[in-house]
Amino acid sequence: MDPNYQPAWRAWFEQGGIMTVVHMRGGGEYGDAWHRAGQKQWKINTMFDFLAGAHYMIDHGYTQRQYLVANGRSAGGIVMGGALTIDPGLFRVVLDDVGVSDTLRFETEPNGPPNVPEMGSTATEAGFHGVYSMSAYAHIHDGTPYPAVMFTTGANDPRVSPWHMLKMTARVQAATSSGRPVLLRVDYDAGHGIGSSVKQTADRFADEWAFALWQTGASAFQPKSH
């Protein structure tokens, strides 16, 4: 992502937040080798890069763990899965939008086969191990203190089937021992978000960021006592 102005981010900044973009291996920014270092059996590198970015923010005094929020969408859901499973105590909140979470089953859905060249296939032993390493659903463990999470999906998503977020929500809810909320947000009039209206997008941001501000302790977003 080149430097640019994101109007939607202003609401977050006005609450005192900052925003960081982590450039992980797997993109095309630095050529083919950079791309290949984040695909198939090396996809886990994208998770390690993301976690390294989070540690950088902490080590350099930009934030602390109790204020750290992770957000990714679509294939970035693989990275959000890593944020949950590799170091569950690193982030206070994880926001996973229309994310791929069960990569072991991903190629069975309509949009799965076109992604095989990038992610690999369970049809071979090597491919299976690579896909397994990036499957968050397969790495959720009972009794783990997971952060607060909001999973979001569109009921008509043709790119990442909604069952990814439904399965992941149920699994994390059953496994977590932290007592922090694990929520599922479904827009029944949306798909992958590409054709969503401005209002739909604004409503999603409002729900997610209010959730994050609540969980990170912002006083204006705490439930009122009765």
Q: Is residue 20 part of a domain?
A: no
Q: Is residue 173 part of a domain?
A: yes
Q: Is residue 105 part of a domain?
A: yes
What is the number of alpha carbons within 13 Å of residue 156 lying toward its C-beta? 8
Tell me the residue range of the domain where 193 lies. Answer: 33-216
Is 55 a known active-site residue?
Answer: no
What distances in angstroms separate CA 179 from CA 146, 162, 164, 208, 218, one per listed residue? 9, 25, 22, 19, 19
Closest listed residue to residue 192, CA positions, set 151, 164, 159: 159
pLDDT of residue 73: 95
pTM over 0.85: yes
Q: Is residue 93 part of a domain?
A: yes
Residue 132 confidence class, pLDDT cut points 50, 70, 90: very high
Q: Is residue 28 part of a domain?
A: no
State pLDDT tens for residues 176-210.
999 999 999 999 999 999 889 999 999 999 999 99
Catalytic, out of 74, 141, 219, 226: 74
CATH classification of the domain holding 203:
3.40.50.1820
Is 192 a known active-site residue?
Answer: yes
Catalytic, out of 101, 121, 135, 192: 192
Q: Is residue 154 part of a domain?
A: yes
The β-bridge partners of 72 are 96
Give the total number of structural domains in the chain. Answer: 1
